[in-house]
Amino acid sequence: MCWDPNDQTLNLTHPGGVTQQIGQELYAYIRNNTGSTITNGTAVRFAGADDVPAQVYQTFLTADSENFLTVDSLSYNVLDPLGATARLEVAPFLADGTYPSLYGLGIATQDIPDGEDGRVTVWGKLRDINTTGGAENWQVGNILYVSPTVPGGLTNVKPTAPNNVIPMAAVLRVDSESGELFVRPNYEQQKNYGNFVSDSDQTLLATNTPQKIKLNRNLRSQQIALLSGNDALRFYETGLYEISINAQLISSNSSAKNVYFWLRKGDSDLTGTTRRITVNGNGVSAVFQENNMVSIDSANTDISFMWAANDTTIQLDALSGIAFAPNAPSVQIDVVQAAL
C-alpha cells in the first residue's frame, strides 16, 4: 500500500501488476474460462460462474527485537465444510444483439490467461492502454460503446438496433501506451421489436370459422420469433407491446363481405381486439389496419393473428409483378415494446 498524492487516495497493489485506488475504483474478481487470454482493455460480459475451493488463512503473531508485532500469513486450499465459493466467469462482449445488454460487466484491467483469475474494472480509471482508437481517432471526452463488430472492442460510434447500445467508458487521455479511460458502464434494458410479413395470398376454408394468419418472413426482430408453423409469434420477454396488423384484402364477387380480425394469446382469444371491415364489390380491394396494446406477463408467450369472414370469396392479397412500384406482402405485423 502507498499514498497517491496525485489522486489523493490510498493505492493497493494486487497480483498481475494491478494497482487499485481504494474508494475511487471498483473491481470484479473473475475467472477466464474462454480458452483464450482476455487482454487488458477488453470489454467483457457475464458468462456464468465457476466453483472454486475456499481459501483458509492461518495467522501467526510474533514479536521482533523491538517489541513490535508482525503478522505472518499462510494460506492453502482446502474443501470448505460450508461449500466452495463461486467465481464469476466472463467473456469478451460482442454487442451484436446476441446477448442482452444487462449481461455487460466492465473492462479487464489486466491480461487474464485462460483458466486464471483476474480483475475487471466496473467503475473508475483504467490506465496504460491504447486509447488512440485507430481509424476512429478517439478524442478526450469521447464516450466509448461496446463494439458490435469486434469481440471485447470499444467504439466511439454509437451502435443502433439490433446491436446493443452500451456506453462503457469515457476517454480521459489519448495515448498509444499510457492512455486512460474512465469506466462507467450504463446498461439500459433493450426494448424488443419485430417486423414479420406474409408474401402469399391467403384464403378462408369455411365461412364464419376462425383461421390463423400465416407469416413466412421475419424481417427483423429482437427477442420475438416466428414459430416453425408460421402461424404465431413467440415473445421471449415480458413487457407491454404495441402490436399492429396491416392486411390487404381483395374480393372476387359482388356480394358484401364482413371480415373479422382479432388476436389470440396462447389458446385464448383476447377480449376487445376484434375489428370488422366490410368489402363490397367484385375485384374491390381494401386495406385493414389495427393496433392493440398487449401485456405479455410471462416469458415465452405465443400470439396468433386470427381472421374469419361470412364469405370465402375474400382473400388476403399479396401484390407482385408491379412494373412501377415495389411488391407488397398480403399481411405485415409490426411489434414495438412500449414499456418493460
CA 89 to CA 297: how far, in whole Å? Answer: 31
DSSP letter for 101, please. Answer: G
For the chain, 340 residues long, give each residue's pLDDT as a single digit of tens: 777 777 767 777 877 777 777 767 899 999 999 999 999 999 999 999 988 766 554 444 444 444 444 444 444 344 444 556 789 999 999 999 899 899 999 999 999 999 999 999 999 999 999 999 999 999 999 999 999 999 999 999 999 888 999 999 999 999 999 999 999 998 877 889 999 999 999 999 999 999 999 999 999 999 999 999 999 999 999 999 999 999 999 999 999 999 999 999 999 999 999 999 999 999 999 999 999 999 999 999 999 999 999 999 999 999 988 889 999 999 999 999 998 8
Q: 193-339 in CATH: which number?
A: 2.60.120.40
| pLDDT given at position 322 | 85
H/E run at residue 80 = none
| pLDDT given at position 72 | 47
| pLDDT given at position 187 | 82
Write out the three cell numbers for 292. 392493440
- Report the b/e string of 205-241 with b at 16+ CB within 10 A: eeeeeeeebbbeeeeebbbbbbeeeebbbebebbbeb
CA angle (214 as vertex; 198, 100 as ends), nearest 5: 80
For residue 301, the SS3 value is strand
pTM of the model: 0.68
**Can you give the residue ranges of every domain in the chain?**
2-183, 193-339
